[in-house]
Structure 1
């Protein structure tokens, strides 16, 4: 698997890659991950994961890096891919990253291996064709190309990219149905991992304003993550700890009864691709308040 990120990362996608890697290894699959992260590679405490099957490259080009830095990164990445993936039978690359540019420099035998391209999140939505260095022809030569939502697949096809299928399941209408009972009038529900890109701090501070204005509310947050301790402390500081419940990660089948009770579903994310929880709340006839990036 070739991925831009592994934990820690600002949005939790790295956790997904790592969980998939662990799942494959537990089933006897000789899985290897090649990764880098321009955003978090030099953040304090960001150490390489203690596993010999992880190949990690510390990219020189940070966010906003110069073209020369990126060119050096691409050349170094091509060399790493050549060494790390020569003995692999199937290769999956995730996201629109510098790795894709590096692939264009690979020799024929490695380039002809079966590559699976997975488009996901903002890197797919933000894609713009380039007149000078356009990777569309290279990307469309992948053995299989997948997107994580129908909306993203349609967007990429409009840009001239081949997408064979989407892998993100749609809202389950059998599980999420409009309930007969009315919602609880003061209950706010959020379903989102507690990561920086989910922006839970803005939500908690908004709840603090509701208290200041004397507006009754109770809030249930579904989803765990590294910011849970910080958000609990913030709730205490704002005097709303008795009104906010953190449930952590729960089974998907346990979510409908919680959404059924909600007067409103809130999603404060800074960035989203195609959040299913919005569709799930709407299937249950519950209003949604979300940021403009959702």
Structure 2
């Protein structure tokens, strides 16, 4: 695609429930795509829940997790709030790129249909693995009615096609973006990195993910005592933030794992390679 100084730039509305500093796939990929689009003078603007470490963003409120918020009336009220805040941005776009699932994505899709804007949707994992064709019928329609579907892995596309009939044509695969700082370190560099990060355990496990209920971190923590028996000098590094952090820290203390588990919070993506390079094993729990 060549640059054109005279044509009106194409405008893409990126709709995602998460953006950095949240460390989730549907937070990182939209930023990478937006950067690539901007490099060819295609304007990408975000619609998301706060906070976000990006410019050109339209914030919409979250539905909430209280009892009333989870009632049908609470859902309708939240949808109206989202629609009122996002309508102008959707109307001003030429293409709407939906990321993941949830009320924000469904409302943005409704607005895009109303304003006659084509939609692209990218699916990341839990939006497909946990998809219930009955309970999530409306989201299934969002996926099928999109102009094209993009899946985060071939396995995800295959499951969506074979088990859920969601990967209709056209459907494509996009692989996870990797920062150019990622590389395989040599022995000396790895030793230096571990010393800089204060990692002295003989076995270092790393996991990077948003801390939320379906992430499977509770299962990982409950498996750690058995791991510690076999590998007494083991350390688990948990990178990421989320609504489950407090409960997971409580569980860590309850299981007497404080000497083996470290919650590092959010780490800038440009720095993450140092932790990957230092770890012996990457662990990705899920439910």
Q: Shared fold by TM > 0.5?
A: yes
**1:187–1:93 CA distance, 2 compared to 1 (3 A):** same
Distance 2:282 2:159 in 1: 25
Distance 1:122 1:201 in 2: 17
Distance 1:132 1:240 in 2: 41
**1:104–1:32 CA distance, 2 compared to 1 (3 A):** closer
> What is the TM-score when the length of structure 1 is the normalising length?
0.57
**1:134–1:88 CA distance, 2 compared to 1 (3 A):** closer
Gaps of 5+ in 2: 1-13, 177-182, 185-200, 243-247
> Is this contact kept in 2: 1:8–1:14, CA < 8 A?
no
Q: 2:56 aligns with which of 53, 56, 65?
A: 53
Deviation at 1:138, TM superposition (A): 4.1
**1:195–1:125 CA distance, 2 compared to 1 (3 A):** closer
SS of residue matched to 2:126 = helix
Deviation at 1:119, TM superposition (A): 1.0
Q: Say whether residues 1:155 and 2:159 are aligned partners.
A: yes
Distance 1:116 1:205 in 2: 39
Deviation at 1:149, TM superposition (A): 1.8
Q: Say whether residues 1:20 and 2:32 are aligned partners.
A: yes
Distance 1:132 1:16 in 2: 25
Deviation at 1:132, TM superposition (A): 9.7
The equivalent residue for 1:196 is 211
SS of residue matched to 2:131 = coil
The equivalent residue for 1:168 is 175
**1:207–1:137 CA distance, 2 compared to 1 (3 A):** closer
Residue by residue over 1:27-54, the C-alpha shift from the partner in whole angstroms, topping out at 9 and shown as x without a partner, is 3542111113xxxxxxxxxx64476611
Distance 1:206 1:100 in 2: 35
**1:202–1:136 CA distance, 2 compared to 1 (3 A):** closer
Gaps of 5+ in 1: 37-46, 170-174, 177-185, 272-292
The equivalent residue for 1:123 is 127
Question: How many residues were matched structurally?
Answer: 230
> What is the TM-score when the length of structure 2 is the normalising length?
0.58
